[in-house]
Amino acid sequence: MWNLPGSCLLLLSVIRCATHALQTWPSSIDELEDIMFLNTGYRNRGFGALVTPCGFTSTEDTTRSNAAEWLRTAFHDMANIALAGGRNGGLDASLVYELGASNIGAGFETTLRNFVPYYSTRSSMADIIALGVYASVRSCGGPVIPIRTGRKDAIKQTGIIGGTPLPQNDIGTFVNQFHRMGFNQTEMIQLVACGHTIGVTHSNDFPEVVSNASASNAFQSLDSTRNTFDSAIAQDYLNGSTTDALSSQYAIANKQASDFVVFNSDNNATITPMADPTTFQNICQSLLQRMIEVVVDPSILTDPIEVYDVKPAALQLSLMDGGDQISFTGEIRVRTTSKPIDSVQIMYWDRIGIPGPNNTITTTLKGTAQGFEDQFSVGSAQHTAMTVSNIGSFMDSILSFHQNLLYHLSLSK
């Protein structure tokens, strides 16, 4: 039990409110929050599990990594943004209509198929693509990328057709393309390094980058740690040991060594500090967030999704025969990451306005769930009777759940 005395409840909620606004349930982020945080365990959504582990997880090809493909998908979907003639494109899931052309490789279609089960009226495909960046980067040991939501899905091809950078482009074209996306030359170098720290290049897709002499679909890692989101892409390049096909002599000879062209474009001034592991993570956290926020109207994006400390699910309230009792059925998910719990109780306000021992619903533990950084326990109450005369705040359709924080659940009026 971890119900605290009333004064403490108040104190803690005031402290919490002073630092940042309390996320209130229900909210537009609720479905995405489940997808983002419930990787395994009770009522898991299994989204993060698709990119775990970071390496060759694709069920379609043993030389392909879902994590690397999800990250690449977000970049390619965003990269078509058009500024002139009315801003359009950006991260809007228009990739669905743009496969082929400058979006080369089977990974995009696989990724979109991975995402389809998560698509709903409460989770746009574009927001799911953004969530895919969080999940893939975390699975590979990278930073937490904050995920704002509210992206709108395109219903047709948008932006610049063929607007994605290709390995054979010259540096002037790269600079112009990234400038169109909102990144200057420094940021272009940084973003390319962040994107190429995981995964491989396949010869079938880029025969001028990876020679197919050894196998019909040979692949070459982009750095020495293709399953880790780390600074090896920069370290390897700088110390002359790189395995990155996009910096190789073969690709240089074919004029398709785009990583070399990009990294070298300011005489290595930007790539050099990125060899530092912490610098690398910090830069990538910031730039990948910016990458997924390249949308037509950034002002519509919500605050970043935050994990709920307490979140209800499957709530049902019904008036029981006789009319003096209400039956409560539902589940309460409690975040236990830094605070294990024994049990979950729900307390509602009585007519005097305080939670009391007679206004308590006890729950049974249904299970636990895990995300990349959090653990949860879920308590369930089945058909618990609440005496109507004890329910105060219910009258204005507000039920309050007290743990060590104050939560308001707005039920339908």
Q: How far is the CB of 43 from ligand NAG (least distance, A)?
A: 33
DSSP state of 88: B
Residue selected from 232, 294, 295, 332 as contacting ligand NAG according to rule CB under 6 A: 232
Stretch that binds ligand NAG, among 91-99, 163-171, 230-238, 327-335 (CB under 6 A): 230-238
Of 85, 240, 323, 353, the one binding ligand NAG by CB under 6 A: 240
In this structure, are residues 405 and 309 in contact, taking their beta carbons and an 8 Å threshold?
A: yes
**Residue 268 engages ligand NAG in binding (rule: CB under 6 A):** yes
Q: Return the residue nearest ligand NAG (CB atom).
A: 235
Is 249 a binder of ligand NAG (CB under 6 A)? no
Please, what is the Cα angle at 88 between 173 and 265, to 5 degrees?
20
Min CB(353)–ligand NAG separation in Å:
13
Does position 207 interact with ligand NAG (CB under 6 A)? The reply is: yes
Cα separation of 291 and 74, whole Å? 8
Answer whether 72's CB lies under 8 Å from 91's CB. Answer: no
For residue 48, which of 67, 75, 72, 26 has the smallest C-alpha distance? Answer: 67
Residue 310 contacts residue 407 (beta carbons within 8 Å): yes
Q: What's the distance, CA 409 to chain centroid?
A: 25
Sole binder of ligand NAG in the list 168, 224, 302, 384 (CB under 6 A): 224
Peptide bond into 26 cis (omega under 30): yes
Q: Is 238 in the site for ligand NAG (CB under 6 A)?
A: yes
Q: Tell me: does residue 187 bind ligand NAG (CB under 6 A).
A: yes
Residues numbered 10-29 forming contacts with ligand NAG, rule: CB under 6 A: none
Note whether 358 binds ligand NAG by CB under 6 A: yes
User: Interface residues for ligand NAG in 100-129 (CB under 6 A)?
Assistant: none
Residue 104 CB, shortest distance to ligand NAG, in Å, is: 13
CA distance linking residue 101 with residue 99, whole number of Å: 7
- The smaller minimum CB distance to ligand NAG, of residues 254 and 375, is found at 254
Alpha-carbon distance values, 413 to 171, 260, 323, 394 (Å): 59, 61, 19, 10
**Least distance between ligand NAG and beta carbon 335 (Å):** 30
Q: Minimum Å distance from CB 166 to ligand NAG?
A: 17
Angle between helices 185-195 and 66-78 (to 10 degrees): 150
- CA-nearest of 197, 165, 202 to 60 is 202
Instruction: Please tell me what DSSP assigns to residue 247.
Output: G
Under the binding rule (CB under 6 A), the answer on residue 186 touching ligand NAG is yes
- Least distance to ligand NAG, CB of residue 246, Å: 13
Does the protein bind ligand NAG through residue 236 (CB under 6 A)? Answer: yes
Q: Which residues bind ligand NAG (CB under 6 A)?
A: 184-187, 207, 212, 216, 224, 232, 235-241, 264, 267-268, 356-358
